Structure formats: C-alpha cells, structure tokens
Structure 1
Amino acid sequence: MINAVQGTIGANPAVVSAARAMSHFGEHALGWVGIAAAGWLVDKPRRRQWAGVAVGAVGAHAASIVIKRVVRRPRPNDPSVQVNVSTPSKLSFPSSHATSTAAAAVLLGRLTGLPLPAVLVPPMVLSRVVLGVHYPSDVLAGSALGAASAAALLGTEKRLASRRARKHDH
C-alpha cells in the first residue's frame, strides 16, 4: 500500500513538499496549539473552547506516545519505501500526527460548525504514508484515537457545564 501511494501521488514533488510541510506543522501537535492560541487571543467569548482545542490535541498526542511505547511497532523499513522526512522516534503505531489532527479537527469542527474532520484528517493521514513513515493501519488507528480523545474531552466538558449550571441554580 505504501508503495502504491508513493508510486502515484507520492511521485509528485509538490505533493511530497506539501506532505513535509504538514509533517512540520503537526509535529508534537504544535501547529494545532498555535491555531488554538490564535483563536484564544481573538475570540474572547469562547476562550475556554479554544483552550480545549489545545488541550485536546496535546492530550491525544500524549496518549499516542504512551501507546507507541507499549506497542513498539517499528516504522516501515523496506528498501522499496522512500522515507521523505525525519522523525523524532523509530516507532510508528499509532501515528501521533493522525491522532492530534483528528482530535483538533473534531474540536475545531465543533467550535466552528464546519465539517473539519472530513477536510483536515485525510490530507494529514495520506501525508504520513506519502512520506513513508507510517503504515495505513498506523494512521487509521491514530485517527480513531484522536476522535475518541476529542469525544472524551467533549463529554467531560458537557458534564462539567452541567455541574456548573446545577450549582448556579442552587
């Protein structure tokens, strides 16, 4: 599958350059933290939600790192796979980029009302395979973990808001 992706769209230098840019943006969830910080600065009424985007992306990223260290699956290592970006770790499962992107996309989508998971997750997931640093199962598992992490955060926020409302009513 990696060879098929790299042999088709991954053969285009512009695609590889875009994938590298996405890789740098997503490293350690920092791009998502930057977007959340910008939102926090300009959208004062919804600062809590913007902070939630940062917390959700970083928390999901941290969860993926823990799982990587437990699973210890090595990155693709086949002479036919071209690795097009450096990575901070030799471990691949799950993809931390896919995890933090899915979490951020769900939370940003909820905040903006836009279908951001459908727009943001596929390019990041595909970029990790184009770059030769993940198996398809790595990015699929990362996407699921990120979405689940975001759902857990949203559920927690809802419960806390309900408690605050009950306290306020009493």
Structure 2
Amino acid sequence: MTEPPRGEDAALVAVQAALAGRPGVLAAARTMSHFGEHSAGWVGAAALGALLQPARRRAWLTAGAGAFAAHAAAVVIKRVVRRERPHHPAIAVNVGTPSRLSFPSAHATSTTAAAVLLGRVSGLPLPAVLVPPMALSRLVLGVHYPSDVLTGVAVGATVAEVVSRISERDGADRR
C-alpha cells in the first residue's frame, strides 16, 4: 500500500485536484510550459520588441538577456542541489521535462526575470500578470514542488535586479 502524500506532495495533489480537471487548464499549462522552455518564449518576445521599437532596442535586448541569464542561473542551481522532481504515485505528471531535476523551477525563474524586465520596458504590470499563472502551471503539471516555484520566483527577481543595475551602470558609462 502506498503512503498518502504528505507535505509538498499533498499540496501538489490538492492543486491538481482543484484545477487540473477544469476545462482548458491542462492545455493552458502545457502551452505556458512550452513557451517558457529554456526561456525561449521570453527571449523571442524581447527580440520582437527590439525589432518593433528600435529606439528602445537596448532595453528590450537587456530583458531577453536577463530572462536567459535567469534560466542559466536556475540550471546551475539545479545541478548543485540535485533535487528530483515530484514522483509520488498520487501526483500526475502532465508534461515532459528535459531533466529529472526540479529545484528551482527554471520556468518560474526565467518568467519572473522576463516579467520584471519586460514590464520595465513596456510600462505594464507584467509580474502580476505573468508570474502567478506560470508558477501555478508548474504545480498543475506536477513537475515542481511549491518550494521549487517560490525559489524560482525569488531567484528570477534577484537576477532581474542585478541585470537592471548592470544595464543602468553600463548605460551611464556610455554617456
């Protein structure tokens, strides 16, 4: 007999029970997962912004670089920590992943960095709009523990702040 889920496993089971069966939720979560894979969607969005607003090209490209840097930071942390993805039998894994490592969520990390940096360029409240759905999608898909996602958000916000400061300093040096 399998032990009932506890702790973060129980939280994942509860999230999946509440949301995964609702119409469109799994499809939306999978779409977000594919968009955020290796930060490619965020880098693409930044490149498009750079093409459409040449006067602000540097800011858009900085946002794309920040999203990619956040993804890279998450990958490095994953390889150091080596926490495996959720694997309790009660947790449904609803999407494929490139590795078995889960801490932190690279999707939450790169999405947070992208949302902060793209929000600064666009003037839109992107962190509030983009981060919660991406973070929740990782739980619905059963590929991350809540602490993986929360840590990813924190790392992404930190990377965005560091990238912003470097960009501002470099911009001041060019004047």
TM over 0.5: yes
Aligned residue for 2:132?
122
2-structure distance, mates of 1:112, 1:85: 31
Greater share of residues in helix: 1
Shift of the alpha carbon at 1:163? 2.1
1:76 pairs with 2:81: no
1:27 pairs with 2:37: yes
Aligned residue for 2:21?
11
| 2:47 pairs with one of 26, 31, 37 | 37
Once the two structures are superposed, what CA deviation does each residue of 1:131-165 show, in whole Å capped at 9, x if it has no partner? 00000000000011011000000011111122223
Question: Residue type matched to 2:60 in 1?
Answer: W
Shift of the alpha carbon at 1:118? 0.5
Aligned residue for 1:168?
none
Shift of the alpha carbon at 1:62? 0.3
SS in 2 for 1:81: coil
Aligned residue for 1:131?
141
1:143 pairs with 2:153: yes
2-structure distance, mates of 1:27, 1:123: 15
1:2 pairs with 2:32: no
5+ residue gaps, structure 1, are 166-170
5+ residue gaps, structure 2, are 1-10
Question: Residue type matched to 1:71 in 2?
Answer: V
Aligned residue for 1:54?
64
1:67 pairs with 2:82: no
Identity %: 61
Question: Which residues in structure 2 correspond to 1:66-105 (within 5 Å)?
Answer: 66-105=76-115
SS in 2 for 1:11: coil
Once the two structures are superposed, what CA deviation does each residue of 1:85-133 show, in whole Å capped at 9, x if it has no partner? 0000000000000000000000011111111101000000000000000
Q: TM-score, structure 2 length as denominator?
A: 0.92
User: Number of matched residues?
Assistant: 165
Aligned residue for 2:118?
108
Answer with 118-127 or 4-13: which moved more: 4-13
Answer with 116-125 or 11-20: which moved more: 11-20
